Amino acid sequence: MHNQASPPWDMLWIPGWSVPPSVFRNVQQGFPARHHEVSFLHAARGEEILSTVVEAVENVKEPVHLVGWSMGGMAALAAAACLPERVASLCLIGAVPRFVRTPDSLWGWDLRVLERMKQQLRRDAAGVLTAFDKRMFSRQERGEETYRQWRENRELLPVESLEAGLNFLEHFLLPSHLRRCALPIHLLHGEQDGVCPVQGGKALADLLPRVTWTVWEGTGHLPFWTQPVRFQQWLKERMEVGIGQTESSPTI
Protein backbone atom coordinates (compact mmCIF):
# COMPACT_ATOMS: atom_id res chain seq x y z
CA MET A 1 0.00 0.00 0.00
CA HIS A 2 1.28 3.46 -0.93
CA ASN A 3 2.41 5.64 1.96
CA GLN A 4 -0.10 8.50 1.84
CA ALA A 5 2.12 10.65 4.06
CA SER A 6 4.36 11.35 1.04
CA PRO A 7 3.58 12.32 -2.56
CA PRO A 8 2.08 11.46 -4.89
CA TRP A 9 -1.03 11.54 -2.74
CA ASP A 10 -4.48 10.27 -3.65
CA MET A 11 -6.71 13.31 -3.33
CA LEU A 12 -10.48 13.47 -3.69
CA TRP A 13 -11.74 16.97 -4.58
CA ILE A 14 -15.29 17.79 -3.48
CA PRO A 15 -16.87 21.03 -4.76
CA GLY A 16 -19.36 23.30 -3.08
CA TRP A 17 -22.97 24.12 -3.87
CA SER A 18 -23.82 24.94 -7.49
CA VAL A 19 -20.27 24.34 -8.78
CA PRO A 20 -18.75 21.48 -10.86
CA PRO A 21 -15.42 19.86 -9.86
CA SER A 22 -13.65 21.69 -12.68
CA VAL A 23 -13.49 24.65 -10.30
CA PHE A 24 -10.36 23.03 -8.82
CA ARG A 25 -8.47 22.45 -12.06
CA ASN A 26 -6.25 25.51 -11.71
CA VAL A 27 -4.90 24.46 -8.30
CA GLN A 28 -4.63 20.79 -9.29
CA GLN A 29 -2.16 21.58 -12.06
CA GLY A 30 1.39 20.76 -11.04
CA PHE A 31 0.32 19.39 -7.67
CA PRO A 32 2.05 16.07 -6.76
CA ALA A 33 -1.08 13.94 -6.48
CA ARG A 34 -3.41 11.52 -8.20
CA HIS A 35 -6.57 13.58 -8.51
CA HIS A 36 -10.04 12.12 -8.11
CA GLU A 37 -13.18 14.25 -8.30
CA VAL A 38 -16.76 14.30 -7.08
CA SER A 39 -19.60 15.71 -9.15
CA PHE A 40 -23.07 16.41 -7.81
CA LEU A 41 -24.46 16.95 -11.31
CA HIS A 42 -26.87 14.02 -11.05
CA ALA A 43 -27.88 14.39 -7.40
CA ALA A 44 -31.66 14.64 -7.12
CA ARG A 45 -32.11 14.39 -3.34
CA GLY A 46 -30.25 15.78 -0.35
CA GLU A 47 -29.08 12.37 0.83
CA GLU A 48 -27.44 11.75 -2.54
CA ILE A 49 -24.84 14.44 -1.77
CA LEU A 50 -23.37 12.24 0.97
CA SER A 51 -23.84 8.95 -0.87
CA THR A 52 -22.01 10.36 -3.91
CA VAL A 53 -18.99 11.23 -1.78
CA VAL A 54 -19.05 7.90 0.08
CA GLU A 55 -19.09 6.04 -3.24
CA ALA A 56 -16.17 8.12 -4.52
CA VAL A 57 -14.13 7.36 -1.38
CA GLU A 58 -14.84 3.64 -1.76
CA ASN A 59 -13.71 3.74 -5.39
CA VAL A 60 -10.19 4.93 -4.48
CA LYS A 61 -8.00 1.95 -3.69
CA GLU A 62 -5.73 3.75 -1.22
CA PRO A 63 -6.72 5.77 1.85
CA VAL A 64 -7.58 9.13 0.33
CA HIS A 65 -7.06 12.75 1.33
CA LEU A 66 -10.34 14.66 1.08
CA VAL A 67 -10.23 18.26 -0.15
CA GLY A 68 -13.68 19.74 0.37
CA TRP A 69 -14.92 23.26 -0.15
CA SER A 70 -18.03 24.68 1.52
CA MET A 71 -20.84 22.13 1.08
CA GLY A 72 -18.16 19.74 -0.16
CA GLY A 73 -16.29 20.20 3.10
CA MET A 74 -19.38 19.32 5.10
CA ALA A 75 -20.02 16.29 2.89
CA ALA A 76 -16.38 15.28 3.41
CA LEU A 77 -16.87 15.37 7.18
CA ALA A 78 -19.98 13.22 6.92
CA ALA A 79 -18.22 10.75 4.60
CA ALA A 80 -15.22 10.52 6.92
CA ALA A 81 -17.58 9.66 9.76
CA CYS A 82 -18.95 6.80 7.64
CA LEU A 83 -15.58 5.48 6.39
CA PRO A 84 -12.80 6.66 8.73
CA GLU A 85 -10.54 3.78 7.76
CA ARG A 86 -10.64 4.87 4.08
CA VAL A 87 -9.66 8.49 4.77
CA ALA A 88 -6.08 9.69 5.33
CA SER A 89 -6.85 13.34 6.18
CA LEU A 90 -9.24 16.19 5.43
CA CYS A 91 -8.36 19.63 4.07
CA LEU A 92 -11.49 21.76 4.22
CA ILE A 93 -12.17 25.26 2.94
CA GLY A 94 -15.05 27.33 4.29
CA ALA A 95 -16.61 24.45 6.23
CA VAL A 96 -18.85 24.83 9.29
CA PRO A 97 -20.39 22.33 11.76
CA ARG A 98 -23.93 23.37 10.82
CA PHE A 99 -25.21 25.52 7.98
CA VAL A 100 -28.62 26.55 9.30
CA ARG A 101 -28.96 29.05 12.14
CA THR A 102 -29.81 27.69 15.58
CA PRO A 103 -29.46 29.16 19.10
CA ASP A 104 -25.98 27.56 19.14
CA SER A 105 -25.03 28.68 15.62
CA LEU A 106 -26.18 32.27 15.24
CA TRP A 107 -23.76 32.73 12.33
CA GLY A 108 -25.76 30.21 10.25
CA TRP A 109 -28.28 30.89 7.51
CA ASP A 110 -31.90 31.60 8.33
CA LEU A 111 -33.93 28.59 7.19
CA ARG A 112 -36.41 30.95 5.51
CA VAL A 113 -33.62 32.17 3.20
CA LEU A 114 -32.94 28.61 2.03
CA GLU A 115 -36.64 28.04 1.43
CA ARG A 116 -36.87 31.22 -0.66
CA MET A 117 -33.83 30.14 -2.67
CA LYS A 118 -35.49 26.80 -3.44
CA GLN A 119 -38.59 28.60 -4.71
CA GLN A 120 -36.60 31.10 -6.75
CA LEU A 121 -34.50 28.37 -8.39
CA ARG A 122 -37.55 27.23 -10.36
CA ARG A 123 -38.25 30.77 -11.60
CA ASP A 124 -34.79 32.29 -12.05
CA ALA A 125 -31.87 29.96 -11.28
CA ALA A 126 -29.36 32.29 -12.97
CA GLY A 127 -30.48 35.17 -10.76
CA VAL A 128 -30.09 33.04 -7.63
CA LEU A 129 -26.52 32.18 -8.63
CA THR A 130 -25.67 35.81 -9.40
CA ALA A 131 -26.73 36.85 -5.90
CA PHE A 132 -24.91 33.90 -4.37
CA ASP A 133 -21.72 34.71 -6.27
CA LYS A 134 -21.64 38.20 -4.76
CA ARG A 135 -21.68 36.66 -1.30
CA MET A 136 -18.74 34.42 -2.11
CA PHE A 137 -16.34 37.28 -2.88
CA SER A 138 -15.31 40.01 -0.46
CA ARG A 139 -16.02 43.59 -1.49
CA GLN A 140 -12.41 44.07 -2.52
CA GLU A 141 -12.34 40.78 -4.44
CA ARG A 142 -15.42 41.76 -6.45
CA GLY A 143 -13.33 44.50 -8.02
CA GLU A 144 -10.58 42.11 -9.10
CA GLU A 145 -10.02 40.02 -12.22
CA THR A 146 -10.75 36.76 -10.40
CA TYR A 147 -14.40 37.81 -9.89
CA ARG A 148 -14.83 38.64 -13.58
CA GLN A 149 -13.29 35.29 -14.54
CA TRP A 150 -15.61 33.49 -12.13
CA ARG A 151 -18.69 35.12 -13.60
CA GLU A 152 -17.55 34.46 -17.18
CA ASN A 153 -17.00 30.76 -16.45
CA ARG A 154 -20.13 30.24 -14.36
CA GLU A 155 -22.03 27.09 -15.25
CA LEU A 156 -25.69 26.48 -14.50
CA LEU A 157 -26.17 23.00 -13.04
CA PRO A 158 -29.55 21.22 -13.21
CA VAL A 159 -32.08 22.76 -10.85
CA GLU A 160 -32.67 19.34 -9.26
CA SER A 161 -29.04 19.10 -8.19
CA LEU A 162 -29.14 22.66 -6.81
CA GLU A 163 -32.22 21.80 -4.76
CA ALA A 164 -30.55 18.60 -3.54
CA GLY A 165 -27.58 20.62 -2.32
CA LEU A 166 -29.79 23.07 -0.43
CA ASN A 167 -31.63 20.15 1.19
CA PHE A 168 -28.31 18.63 2.27
CA LEU A 169 -27.18 21.96 3.76
CA GLU A 170 -30.49 22.38 5.57
CA HIS A 171 -30.06 19.10 7.44
CA PHE A 172 -26.29 18.89 7.83
CA LEU A 173 -24.95 18.59 11.37
CA LEU A 174 -21.41 17.59 12.28
CA PRO A 175 -21.50 13.89 13.24
CA SER A 176 -20.99 13.80 17.00
CA HIS A 177 -18.37 11.04 16.98
CA LEU A 178 -16.06 13.18 14.81
CA ARG A 179 -15.39 15.14 17.99
CA ARG A 180 -13.30 12.12 19.04
CA CYS A 181 -11.90 11.48 15.56
CA ALA A 182 -8.21 10.62 15.23
CA LEU A 183 -8.01 11.86 11.63
CA PRO A 184 -5.98 15.04 11.01
CA ILE A 185 -8.26 17.80 9.78
CA HIS A 186 -6.95 21.06 8.31
CA LEU A 187 -9.30 24.04 8.06
CA LEU A 188 -8.89 27.16 5.91
CA HIS A 189 -11.27 30.09 6.14
CA GLY A 190 -11.54 33.54 4.62
CA GLU A 191 -11.92 36.28 7.20
CA GLN A 192 -14.57 37.96 5.03
CA ASP A 193 -16.45 34.82 4.02
CA GLY A 194 -20.03 35.91 3.27
CA VAL A 195 -21.42 32.38 2.86
CA CYS A 196 -19.97 30.46 5.81
CA PRO A 197 -18.84 33.16 8.27
CA VAL A 198 -15.47 32.75 9.92
CA GLN A 199 -17.19 32.34 13.30
CA GLY A 200 -18.65 29.10 11.99
CA GLY A 201 -15.23 27.88 10.93
CA LYS A 202 -13.86 28.65 14.38
CA ALA A 203 -16.78 26.75 15.93
CA LEU A 204 -15.86 23.73 13.81
CA ALA A 205 -12.20 23.97 14.79
CA ASP A 206 -13.18 24.07 18.47
CA LEU A 207 -15.14 20.82 18.11
CA LEU A 208 -12.37 18.75 16.50
CA PRO A 209 -9.53 17.11 18.45
CA ARG A 210 -6.81 17.10 15.75
CA VAL A 211 -7.06 20.27 13.73
CA THR A 212 -5.11 23.10 12.16
CA TRP A 213 -7.07 26.32 11.76
CA THR A 214 -5.97 28.96 9.25
CA VAL A 215 -7.63 32.32 8.54
CA TRP A 216 -6.73 34.57 5.61
CA GLU A 217 -7.41 38.26 6.12
CA GLY A 218 -9.40 40.12 3.47
CA THR A 219 -10.42 36.84 1.83
CA GLY A 220 -13.92 35.63 0.98
CA HIS A 221 -15.39 32.19 0.40
CA LEU A 222 -13.11 31.19 -2.49
CA PRO A 223 -9.46 31.36 -1.36
CA PHE A 224 -8.36 28.65 -3.80
CA TRP A 225 -9.79 30.69 -6.70
CA THR A 226 -8.69 34.18 -5.67
CA GLN A 227 -5.23 33.13 -4.40
CA PRO A 228 -4.36 29.85 -6.17
CA VAL A 229 -0.58 29.93 -5.63
CA ARG A 230 -0.95 30.68 -1.94
CA PHE A 231 -3.58 27.97 -1.67
CA GLN A 232 -1.34 25.38 -3.30
CA GLN A 233 1.38 26.20 -0.80
CA TRP A 234 -1.04 25.95 2.13
CA LEU A 235 -2.34 22.62 0.87
CA LYS A 236 1.11 21.17 0.25
CA GLU A 237 2.26 22.17 3.74
CA ARG A 238 -0.81 20.61 5.32
CA MET A 239 -0.40 17.39 3.34
CA GLU A 240 3.22 17.13 4.42
CA VAL A 241 2.17 17.49 8.05
CA GLY A 242 0.39 14.17 7.54
CA ILE A 243 -0.59 12.65 10.86
CA GLY A 244 2.01 14.61 12.76
CA GLN A 245 1.41 17.31 15.32
CA THR A 246 -1.61 19.51 14.70
CA GLU A 247 -2.64 22.76 16.29
CA SER A 248 -5.88 24.56 17.11
CA SER A 249 -4.56 28.13 17.08
CA PRO A 250 -5.22 30.15 13.90
CA THR A 251 -2.54 31.27 11.48
CA ILE A 252 -3.28 34.39 9.46
Read off the pTM: 0.94
**Mind listing the pLDDT tens digit for each residue in 190-204?**
999 999 999 999 999
Position 241 confidence tier, pLDDT thresholds 50, 70, 90: confident
Q: Is the pLDDT of residue 252 over 60?
A: no
Cα angle, residue 144 at apex, residues 140 and 150 outer, rounded to 5°:
110
Q: What is the mean pLDDT of residues 159-181?
A: 95
Does the residue 150 lie in any domain? yes
CATH number, domain containing residue 105: 3.40.50.1820
Q: Is the pLDDT of residue 5 over 70?
A: no
Does the residue 50 lie in any domain? yes
Does the residue 3 lie in any domain? no
- Tell me the average pLDDT of the chain: 93
Does the residue 4 lie in any domain? no
**Mind listing the pLDDT tens digit for each residue in 201-222?**
999 999 999 999 999 999 999 9
Number of domains present in the structure of the chain:
1
Does the residue 65 lie in any domain? yes
Least confident of 4-8, 30-34, 123-127: 4-8
Q: What is the mean pLDDT of residues 168-193?
A: 95
Q: Is the pLDDT of residue 115 over 60?
A: yes
Domain residues for the domain of 77 are 9-251
Collect all residues with Cβ–Cβ distance below 8 Å to 26 and sequence separation of at least 6. Answer: 225, 228
Does the residue 68 lie in any domain? yes
Q: Is the pLDDT of residue 176 over 80?
A: yes
